[in-house]
């Protein structure tokens, strides 16, 4: 419940700032700074999904907004992580092949999206050295790096353009995914694991500014 309240507060803060943004100066220098390629195009906030109990970051939209590239920092509280809270850094790409415009043109639905991610957990609490009682190569995977893939969907609400004419929007999305370690665990233990045991569910929101 706290996670959903945090998501609601995040977008509430963004929406409350929209009127002020609409009154921002429209001088050429401001317009130029917004259009520079290295300026992020959207902000993302997500809960779960294998990248942290809560994660947030910035990203870019490419290929006519069909491809998103995001960099996020996630957090797992000590209560759920063990001896120490964890930080997780994630690079994620999401491709959305097509869009359905609803009767009200301000709403758009993206019924299918898919992508991949890689994340790194720089925590000393993870077991990097392994236990000496196991032979070399028994633990073949990295304890700090995970590679994952996911499928999902999104619904988007268009907002009024900002002072520089850039279109803004708020989106809510879900992602159903897994990672390399989970897939191998399932493949080598079909009698003990079900497909649902190796899936992760992430829910989040994106604000395009």
Ramachandran angles phi, psi of 69, nearest 5°: -120, 115
Written as one string, the DSSP assignment of 59-115 is EEEETTTTEEEEEEEEEE-HHHHSSS-EEEEEEEEEE----EE-SSTTEEEEEEEEE
- Considering only residues 173 and 127, tell me which one the structure prediction assigns the higher pLDDT: 173
Residue 57 belongs to some domain of the structure: yes
Question: In the predicted model, what is the mean pLDDT of residues 145-166?
Answer: 92
Ramachandran angles phi, psi of 6, nearest 5°: -65, -40
Residue 186 belongs to some domain of the structure: yes
Pick the closest to residue 118 from 47, 83, 153, 69 (CA basis): 69
Residue 142 belongs to some domain of the structure: no
Question: In the predicted model, what is the mean pLDDT of residues 93-112?
Answer: 93
Residue 48 belongs to some domain of the structure: yes
Q: Tokens at residue 73, please?
A: 């920092």
Q: Is the pLDDT of residue 157 over 90?
A: yes
Residue 115 belongs to some domain of the structure: yes
- What pLDDT score was predicted for residue 133? 57
Question: In the predicted model, what is the mean pLDDT of residues 123-133?
Answer: 57
Q: How far apart are CA 173 and CA 205, in angstroms?
A: 6
Q: Give the residue numbers spanning the domain of 201.
A: 2-14+41-128+150-208
Q: Which of 98-107, 180-189, 191-200 has the lowest mean pLDDT?
A: 98-107
> Which residues contact residue 106 at a Cβ distance below 8 angstroms, ignoring those fewer than 6 apart?
157, 158
Pick the closest to residue 89 from 60, 124, 47, 117 (CA basis): 117
Residue 54 belongs to some domain of the structure: yes
Q: Which of 65-69, 162-166, 196-200 has the lowest mean pLDDT?
A: 162-166
Question: In the predicted model, what is the mean pLDDT of residues 140-159?
Answer: 92
Per-residue pLDDT tens over the stretch 63-92: 998 999 999 999 999 888 877 889 999 999
Pick the closest to residue 208 from 46, 3, 40, 5 (CA basis): 40
Q: How far apart are CA 121 and CA 92, in angstroms?
A: 15
Per-residue pLDDT tens over the stretch 18-56: 444 334 444 444 444 446 878 999 999 999 999 999 999
Q: Is the pLDDT of residue 13 over 50?
A: no
Residue 72 belongs to some domain of the structure: yes
Q: Is the pLDDT of residue 58 over 70?
A: yes
Angle at 26 between CA 21 and CA 27, to 5 degrees: 140
Distances, alpha carbon 145 to alpha carbons 124, 148, 165, 183, in Å: 13, 10, 40, 15
Structure confidence at residue 9 as a pLDDT band (50, 70, 90)? low
The answer to whether residues 52 and 14 touch, using CB atoms and an 8 Å cutoff, is no
Residue 113 belongs to some domain of the structure: yes
Q: Which of 26-35, 142-151, 198-207 has the lowest mean pLDDT?
A: 26-35
The strand pair at 100-101 and 107-120 is best described as antiparallel
- What pLDDT score was predicted for residue 20? 41
Mean residue pLDDT of the chain comes to 82
- What pLDDT score was predicted for residue 34? 46
Domain count, the chain: 1
């Amino acid at each position: 419940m706290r996670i959903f309240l945090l998501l609601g507060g995040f977008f509430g803060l963004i929406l409350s700032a929209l009127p002020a943004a609409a009154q921002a100066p429209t001088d050429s220098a401001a317009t130029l700074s917004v259009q520079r390629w290295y300026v992020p195009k959207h902000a993302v906030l997500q809960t779960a999904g294998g990248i942290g109990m809560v994660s947030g970051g910035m990203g870019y939209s490419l290929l006519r907004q069909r491809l998103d590239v995001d960099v996020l920092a996630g957090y797992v509280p000590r209560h759920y992580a063990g001896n120490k809270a964890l930080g997780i850094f994630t690079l994620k790409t999401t491709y959305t092949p097509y869009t359905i415009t609803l009767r009200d043109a301000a709403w758009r639905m993206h019924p299918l999206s898919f992508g991949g991610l890689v994340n790194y957990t720089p925590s000393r609490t993870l077991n990097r050295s392994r236990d000496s009682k196991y032979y070399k190569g028994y633990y073949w995977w990295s304890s700090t790096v995970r590679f994952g893939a996911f499928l999902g969907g999104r619904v988007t609400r268009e907002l009024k353009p900002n002072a520089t004419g850039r279109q803004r929007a708020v989106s809510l999305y879900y992602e159903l995914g897994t990672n390399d370690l989970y897939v191998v665990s399932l493949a080598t233990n079909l009698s003990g694991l079900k497909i649902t045991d190796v899936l992760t569910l992430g829910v989040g929101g994106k604000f395009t500014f």
